[in-house]
């Protein structure tokens, strides 16, 4: 059975914790898109970890972790992460890398950095991990799949020369930087080859067989619906699809095998990078929620930068869940709201005087003003509660109010960062 775990919002919803928890019953966990530009924070018996590239199943010894063909693979970062977790006592994880996965090249990171600097005030707020240049090259058909490292060296050198011809024009004329040294690049790729050799295989065949054997498989998404390049807040989006549907492509499995889509939805909103954020709050109100948020504050797992904060947005979350094809909502980080006397919730968007509950295209989104409804808080700590009925009444009312407006069943509630801080409904 294949299950996808994806985000309903702008990312940072707590997908890492949910995957780590659900991985306890899984045989295989797959990353199917994105790269080291975002991170999943996981707290378990080994400590606290920020994973950027490794699937969140690496903490369960029986799980096979797969880097799917849809991922932007930064090989040095992958190895740094492996060293980081094994150095903290986690057994060496079982890892497979699709032979069709493409590599983030050193020049992708340079281009990302130079382009953000060139755009200055109009930048996208990129994490400068090379993700946008990587996916641009993939679809321009000048990317490098890992299998090319194991093929004919002459062909690889010729391809490097061809790509450098294009890149060097930009480096020299647009950015005023040094050209790429072809031999140095080739040598770097040969280093990468040695590092990944034991892990590379045809993972789609492996998964085909695993599905036939009835294995439990998790697809782990990065970021959330609103960062999807097609259905999100374009152009302030990421460069690969964040939707469960793309899991089939980014892992190489039949789409009809994805039977459950667990969409992770945070009990308040946060976002990183630029773009419209209708329920955003500012000043002391935002600072307090940021400080209390998540596990140790709402600061980027990759960059450490403060996240933008907001109240729960029913319009964006309803859309985010719909576009994912949600079967179950996991409602996370609810414990954080226990300090508030009253909790505003965004229930509609006012666009030019008309109120809508449907998420609009970017041009209209920028004009939208939040319509807020205020719910009473529960003013206590809900961590440690295991049964839904034991939650304070106002807390249950908050959950049920939101469930009604988003229109998808909240079947799991996360009331703390650890694996067992979970309430099933
Ligand atoms: P992801 O990218 O979706 O995995 O999200 P992040 O890891 O960036 O952010 C989620 C943050 O919230 C992490 O620091 C988690 O440890 C933390 N977290 C996850 N679930 C809960 C929860 O239910 N309560 C609290 N307090 N923190 C949580």
Rounded CA-CA distance 170/354 in Å is: 46
Q: Which atom of ligand 1 is nearest to the CA of 332?
A: 23
Q: Is the CB of 75 under 6 A from ligand 1?
A: no
- 32-55 in b/e burial notation, b at 16+ Cβ within 10 A? bbbbbbbbbbbbbeeeebbbbbbb
Q: What share of the chain is helix, strand, coil (3-state, %, to 5)?
A: 40, 25, 35
- Helix 131-139 and helix 106-119, axial crossing angle in degrees, nearest 10: 110
**Closest C-alpha residue for ligand 1 atom 9:** 12
Distance CA 187, CA 8 (A): 41
Nearest CA to ligand 1 atom 11: 294
**Of 6, 17, 381, best ligand 1 pocket probe by most atoms within 8 Å of the beta carbon:** 17
Find the 12 Cα to ligand 1 centroid distance in Å: 7
**The pLDDT of residue 239:** 92
Best mutation site among 295, 298, 306, 331 for ligand 1, i.e. most ligand atoms within 8 A of its Cβ?
295
Could you give the 3-state DSSP secondary structure of residue 120? helix
Give the Å distance between the CA of 193 and the centre of ligand 1.
34
Q: Which of 10, 23, 41 to mutate to test the pocket of ligand 1 (most atoms within 8 A of CB)?
A: 41
Could you say which DSSP state residue 170 is in? I
Q: Residue with the nearest Cα to atom 10 of ligand 1?
A: 14
- Is the C-beta atom of 9 inside 6 A of ligand 1? no
Residue 38 Cα to ligand 1 midpoint, Å, equals 13
CA of 417 to the centre of ligand 1 (A): 6
Nearest partner of 206 among 161, 260, 160, 252, judged by Cα: 252
- Output the CA 76–ligand 1 centroid distance in Å: 25
Does the Cβ of 44 fall within 6 Å of ligand 1? no
Distance CA 34, CA 38 (A): 8
Comparing CA positions, the residue from 175, 146, 165 lying closest to residue 74 is 146
Choose which residue among 16, 269, 293, 297 to substitute to test ligand 1 binding: the one with the highest number of ligand atoms within 8 A of its C-beta. 16
Confidence (pLDDT) at 301: 65
Q: Is the CB of 41 under 6 A from ligand 1?
A: yes
365 alpha carbon, distance to own chain's centre = 22
Strands 342-351 and 369-376: antiparallel
Please list the pLDDT of the chain residue by residue as tens digits (425 residues).
Answer: 999 999 999 988 998 889 888 988 999 999 999 998 767 778 888 988 888 899 989 998 899 999 999 999 999 999 999 999 999 999 999 999 999 999 999 999 999 889 888 887 776 666 778 999 999 999 999 999 999 999 999 999 999 999 999 999 999 999 999 999 999 999 999 999 999 999 999 999 999 999 999 999 999 999 999 999 999 999 999 999 999 999 999 999 999 999 999 999 999 999 988 889 999 999 999 999 999 999 889 987 667 789 999 999 999 999 999 999 999 999 999 999 999 999 999 999 999 999 999 999 999 999 999 999 999 999 999 999 999 999 999 999 999 999 999 999 999 999 999 889 999 99
3-state secondary structure 49-79: EEECCCCHHHHCCCCEEEECCCEEECHHHHH
Alpha carbon of 200 to ligand 1 centroid (Å): 31
Give me the pLDDT at residue 302, please: 64
Instruction: Judge if the beta carbon of residue 412 lies within 6 A of ligand 1.
Output: no
Tell me which H or E stretch contains 43: strand 40-44
Indicate the helix (H) or strand (E) that contains 30.
strand 28-31
Can you point out the beta strands (E) in 324-400?
328-332, 342-351, 354-356, 369-376
Quote the pLDDT of residue 45. 86
Q: Is the CB of 137 under 6 A from ligand 1?
A: no
Radius of gyration of the chain, Cα coordinates, nearest whole angstrom: 22
State residue 24's pLDDT score.
87
336 lines ligand 1 (CB under 6 A): yes
The alpha carbon of 105 and the centre of ligand 1 are apart by a number of angstroms equal to: 30
So what's the pLDDT on residue 300?
77
Catalytic residue positions, numbered = 12, 40
The SS3 of residue 245 is helix
* Long-range contacts, stretch 110-115, CB < 8 angstroms, 24+ apart: 110/171, 110/177, 111/167, 111/170, 114/171, 114/174, 114/175, 114/177
- Beta-strand ranges (E) seen in 52-178 are 64-67, 72-73, 94-98, 102-103
Alpha helices in 170-297 (DSSP H): 182-196, 203-212, 244-251, 283-292
pTM over 0.85: yes
Pick the atom of ligand 1 nearest to 264's CA.
Answer: 3
Q: How far is CA 397 from CA 319, 327, 377, 388, in A?
A: 22, 21, 10, 11
């Amino acid at each position: 059975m294949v299950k996808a775990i994806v985000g309903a919002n702008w990312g940072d919803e707590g997908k890492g914790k949910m995957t780590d928890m659900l991985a306890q019953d899984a045989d295989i966990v797959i990353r199917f898109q994105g790269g080291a530009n975002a991170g999943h924070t996981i707290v378990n018996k080994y400590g606290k970890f920020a994973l950027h590239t490794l699937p969140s199943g690496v903490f369960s010894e029986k799980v096979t972790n797969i880097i799917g063909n849809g991922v932007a693979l930064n090989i040095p970062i992958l190895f740094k992460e492996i060293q980081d977790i094994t150095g903290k006592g986690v057994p060496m994880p079982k890892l497979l890398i699709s032979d069709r996965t493409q590599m983030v090249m050193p020049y992708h990171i340079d281009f990302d950095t130079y382009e953000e600097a060139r755009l200055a005030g109009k930048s996208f707020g990129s994490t400068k991990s090379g993700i946008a240049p990587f996916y641009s090259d993939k679809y321009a058909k000048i990317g490098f799949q890992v299998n090319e490292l194991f093929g004919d060296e002459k062909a690889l050198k010729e391809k490097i020369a061809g790509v450098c011809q294009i890149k060097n024009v930009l480096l020299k004329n647009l950015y005023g930087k040094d050209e790429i040294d072809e031999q140095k690049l080739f040598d770097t790729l040969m280093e990468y080859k040695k590092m990944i050799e034991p892990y590379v295989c045809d993972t789609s065949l492996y998964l085909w067989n695993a599905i036939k054997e009835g294995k439990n498989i998790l697809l782990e998404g990065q970021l959330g619906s609103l960062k999807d390049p097609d259905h999100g807040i374009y152009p302030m989006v990421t460069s690969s699809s964040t939707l469960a549907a793309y899991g089939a492509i980014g892992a190489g499995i039949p789409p009809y095998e994805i039977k459950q889509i667990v969409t992770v939805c945070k009990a308040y909103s946060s976002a990183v990078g630029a773009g419209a954020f209708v329920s955003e709050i500012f000043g002391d109100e935002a600072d307090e929620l940021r400080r209390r948020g998540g596990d140790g504050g709402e600061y980027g797992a990759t960059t450490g930068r403060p996240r933008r904060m907001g109240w729960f947005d029913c319009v964006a979350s309803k859309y985010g869940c719909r576009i994912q094809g949600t079967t179950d909502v996991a409602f996370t980080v609810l414990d954080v709201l226990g300090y508030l006397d009253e909790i505003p919730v965004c229930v509609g968007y006012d666009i030019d005087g008309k109120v809508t509950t449907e998420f609009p295209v970017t041009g209209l989104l920028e004009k939208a003003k939040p319509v807020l409804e205020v719910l009473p808080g529960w003013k206590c700590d809900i961590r440690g509660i295991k049964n839904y009925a034991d939650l304070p009444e106002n807390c249950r009312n908050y959950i049920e109010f939101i469930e009604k407006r988003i229109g998808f069943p909240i079947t799991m509630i996360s009331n703390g960062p650890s694996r067992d801080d979970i309430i099933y409904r």
